[in-house]
Amino acid sequence: MSESALLSARQSLPPIDYSHAEGAWIHTADGDRLLDAASGLVCVNIGHAHPHVVERIARQTRNATFASPGALLPSVQEELATRLTQAVHRPGDGVSLSCSGTSAVELAISYARLIQRSRGWNGRHHILTARLGYHGNSALTLGLSGHRRRRPHPDDALGLAPAFDPPYPGHHPGCPHDQCRASCADSVVEAIEERGAESVAAVLIEPVNGTTGGAYVPPPGYLATLRRACHERGVLVIHDEVLTGLGRTGLPLGADHSADATADIVVISKGLSAGYIPLSAVLVNPAGLAQLRSSTRPLPLMGTMSATPLQAVAGLAVLDVLSEMGALDPTRTRGGDVTAAVRSLEGLPLVKETRGVGYFHAVELEPGTQAAALAAARDEHLLLYPFNGFHPDGTGEGLIVAPPLNSTPSEVAFLAQGLRRSLERVSAHSEDCSNC
Ligand SMILES: Cc1ncc(COP(=O)(O)O)c(C=O)c1O
């Protein structure tokens, strides 16, 4: 058989021949179905083929798919910008639309540098990031990402590297405490001082670690301490909420779990596109927006396929669905049943640790068991997302558990039972085979 011409990522298991997807389910070509317990790549947050979104996209496709916002009145794009600021409870923000998480992170970096220059701080260009984290696949964002297995070749890294240790167990070698705490933001301060604050534009950070380390949540007070320390030094804070934004962690923003942590600039993508159409957004707070508006320098270039009416309509439809399900309510953390299901796995022989919040969790597994666990989960009709190589010594493996935010109680129960059964089966098999 000839090899596929398609160059793309592959998991350890063969890809599934599927016929269609609906809600939380992937239907296979042979008439079976699997629960999409990773929401695709942690993006199909309202499930597949939601009728409201499908209908709005279909209608807009017949009306106009492209309309350059510079030339043709971008009313629907403006409506999305306003609705998005309401959705994440950031009134008065400016919004830039783009078409991937990566491109939006790059835009956020451009905005941070522009804001600093319009403040008169022309030397502030460095962007500081954590040694564990992911910000995108462009040369710039990958150079800044603490993705151990995906670090660019040193010749290709544009001289970039992450700058500080994050406050997670085993990832902050100099930590003076048993467990990281808010004051571990000192490592960010050290990184700023090392470069000289007058050269630092912003700190870019995931408010909850995504798929690199697997859903590490920072200690209470860390994001607030980091924000205060940055602002005291004239450094802006950018939250990369590409994965966490719009309800994934149970609240509208991942940073909503922490008091006094509001970022100057926020990047959102997966939650807004929900896997329907390429779409992302950068939100700039009112102070930054005032700086941008007072600047004589041009705004960053948007790119051809940013801010089309089709994207805007899709984003609006996704926000309708999220709003209706209560995912944009900042007073109620959702996803307690998913959290309970994942936590209940603690103590199983295969499970080293579980972590996460809301609808975003990781099960860290004993070394050498990931492939078997993934296969056993598939036998239980569950699709999960593997992550590995995140510890400083290159070890570490686990599974991301991140079902759609509108999974029903019976779907969450199906997930809980299937996950437990698959992990138990793998450990029973390894015990049986200890002398194999
Ligand atoms: C935290 C974070 N930032 C940025 C990105 C890049 O987004 P995209 O793949 O849409 O370019 C991702 C993608 O997984 C992400 O998880």
149 and 108 housed in the same domain: yes
- Any atom of ligand 1 within 6 Å of the Cβ of 102: yes
Q: Report if residue 312 sits inside a domain.
A: yes
Q: What's the rounded mean pLDDT across residues 315-319?
A: 98
145 and 33 housed in the same domain: no
Q: Report if residue 7 sits inside a domain.
A: no
In the reported structure, the alpha carbon of residue 245 is separated from the centroid of ligand 1 by a whole-number distance in angstroms of 11
In the reported structure, the alpha carbon of residue 387 is separated from the centroid of ligand 1 by a whole-number distance in angstroms of 14
| Helix 186-195 × helix 222-232 angle, to 10° | 20
Residue 298 has pLDDT above 90, yes or no: yes
- Any atom of ligand 1 within 6 Å of the Cβ of 136: yes
Identify whether the C-beta of residue 221 lies closer than 8 Å to the C-beta of residue 255.
no
Q: Which domain holds residue 406?
A: 18-42+335-435
- pLDDT tens-digit readout, 43-64: 999 999 999 999 999 999 999 9
- Domain CATH for 242: 3.40.640.10
Ligand 1, atom 7: closest residue by C-alpha: 101
215 and 256 housed in the same domain: yes
Measured between alpha carbons, how far is 245 from 88 in angstroms, rounded to an integer? 8
Q: What's the rounded mean pLDDT across residues 217-239?
A: 98
247 and 378 housed in the same domain: no
In the reported structure, the alpha carbon of residue 81 is separated from the centroid of ligand 1 by a whole-number distance in angstroms of 20
- Please report where in the chains the tokens 């809600």 appear, as a residue: 23
308 and 343 housed in the same domain: no
Residue at a domain's end among 325, 356, 379: 325
Most ligand 1 atoms within 8 A of CB, residue of 142, 269, 280 to mutate: 269
Q: Report if residue 426 sits inside a domain.
A: yes
316 and 414 housed in the same domain: no
Q: How many C-beta atoms surround the C-beta of residue 106 within 10 A?
A: 22
86 and 225 housed in the same domain: yes
Residue at a domain's end among 279, 295, 325: 325
Q: At 108, list the tokens.
A: 């956020």
359 and 220 housed in the same domain: no
Residue at a domain's end among 325, 359, 377: 325
- pLDDT tens-digit readout, 123-158: 999 999 999 999 999 999 999 999 988 999 999 999
- Any atom of ligand 1 within 6 Å of the Cβ of 106: no
Give, rounded to a whole angstrom, the gap between the first and last alpha carbons of the chain: 34
Query: What is the number of structural domains in the chain?
Result: 2
Residue 198 has pLDDT above 70, yes or no: yes
Q: Report if residue 103 sits inside a domain.
A: yes
- pLDDT tens-digit readout, 160-187: 999 999 999 999 998 999 999 999 999 9
Q: Report if residue 12 sits inside a domain.
A: no
Measured between alpha carbons, how far is 46 from 255 in angstroms, rounded to an integer? 21
How many residues make up the chain in this entry? 436
Q: Report if residue 48 sits inside a domain.
A: no
- Predicted confidence band at 238 (pLDDT cuts at 50, 70, 90)? very high
262 and 155 housed in the same domain: yes
- Any atom of ligand 1 within 6 Å of the Cβ of 404: no
State whether the Cα torsion 301-274-253-392 is positive or negative.
negative
In the reported structure, the alpha carbon of residue 355 is separated from the centroid of ligand 1 by a whole-number distance in angstroms of 20
28 and 136 housed in the same domain: no
User: How much of the chain, in percent, has pLDDT values that exceed 90?
Assistant: 95
Measured between alpha carbons, how far is 103 from 135 in angstroms, rounded to an integer? 10
In the reported structure, the alpha carbon of residue 4 is separated from the centroid of ligand 1 by a whole-number distance in angstroms of 26
